[in-house]
């Protein structure tokens, strides 16, 4: 773990915020989509956080929920510029483009703070050297939780937000809009195919598992560090619930 200084904090809703820190030389180079551990430095409580900043940024950026009574987030949500937090100096993870086989289209499908690794991926110039079209879907409960909405709308991607608990132009869960055909008709694209689309998934463990089951049933193979495939998830977040920043 390495001590980093908080540079800025932005609160989007009562349950969601982001923050930036310094990036010391001790932090090893990372690939877009990887995660690291975060702690407050005065105890042994650590949580895994995807890095939201692109690999070439001179700072680190993170997106976090606020869980009432959570042993880490209850204190982390109160950080201010100038405070110090612990950041792991060895980013790792499997939610990276290298674990996908080649295809024209990249889909980044997120719920909640699962957007974080995709913020790194779509701000990494190498992503657009590999894919002709990049899509980002982000499902949240309320519109104020659409963190980075303005930034994403200004990037050379197709951004598709959905909201589940209040009126919104594209309401409901992303799975519901897939099943109804609304996603494809809204965007004017064909449903996912094994030959044309590569898919990255990040959200709650339930969200991740549901998509893994769907994509496997549709003939997509799960990509890993050893064998790239048609879709990829962060294995640590899928297999170990405690690996997500949820407490």
68-104 confidence digits (pLDDT tens): 999 999 999 999 999 999 999 999 999 999 999 999 9
> Does 97-239 carry CATH code 2.60.120.620?
no
Whats the size of the chain, residue-wise?
247
Q: What is the pLDDT of residue 246?
A: 35
Q: Could you give the CA distance from residue 44 to residue 67 in angstroms, rounded to a whole number?
A: 18
Q: Give the model confidence (pLDDT) of 151-174 as tens digits.
A: 999 999 999 999 999 999 999 999
Spans of all domains in the chain: 2-87, 97-239
Cβ(102)–Cβ(193) below 8 Å: no
Query: What class does CATH assign to 2-87?
Result: mainly beta
> By CB neighbour count within 10 A (0-12 exposed, 13-18 middle, 19+ buried), where does 153 fall?
exposed
- φ, ψ of residue 190 in degrees (nearest 5): -80, 155
Residue 92 three-state SS? strand
CA 80 to chain centre: 23
Q: Which residues of the chain have pLDDT under 50?
A: 240-247
DSSP state of 53: S
């Amino acid at each position: 773990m390495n001590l980093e200084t908080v540079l800025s904090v932005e609160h989007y809703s009562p349950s969601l915020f982001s923050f930036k820190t310094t990036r010391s030389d001790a932090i090893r180079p990372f690939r877009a989509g990887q995660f690291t551990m975060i702690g407050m430095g005065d105890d042994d409580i650590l949580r895994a956080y995807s890095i939201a900043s692109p690999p070439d940024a001179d700072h680190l950026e993170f997106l976090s929920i606020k869980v009432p009574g959570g042993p880490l987030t209850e204190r982390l949500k109160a950080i201010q510029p100038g405070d110090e937090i612990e950041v792991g100096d060895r980013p790792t993870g499997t939610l990276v483009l290298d674990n996908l086989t080649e295809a024209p289209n990249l889909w980044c499908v997120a719920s909640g703070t699962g957007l974080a690794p995709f913020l790194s991926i779509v701000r990494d110039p190498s992503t657009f050297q590999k894919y002709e079209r990049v899509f980002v879907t982000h499902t949240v409960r309320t519109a104020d939780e659409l963190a980075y909405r303005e930034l994403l709308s200004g990037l050379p991607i197709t951004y598709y937000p959905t909201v589940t608990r209040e009126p919104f132009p594209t309401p409901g869960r992303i799975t519901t809009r897939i099943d109804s055909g609304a996603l494809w008709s809204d965007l004017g694209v064909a449903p996912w195919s094994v030959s044309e689309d590569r898919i990255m998934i990040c959200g709650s463990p339930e969200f991740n598992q549901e998509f893994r089951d769907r994509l496997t049933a549709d003939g997509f193979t799960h990509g890993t560090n050893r064998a790239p495939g048609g879709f990829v998830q962060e294995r640590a977040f899928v297999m170990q619930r405690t690996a997500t920043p949820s407490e």
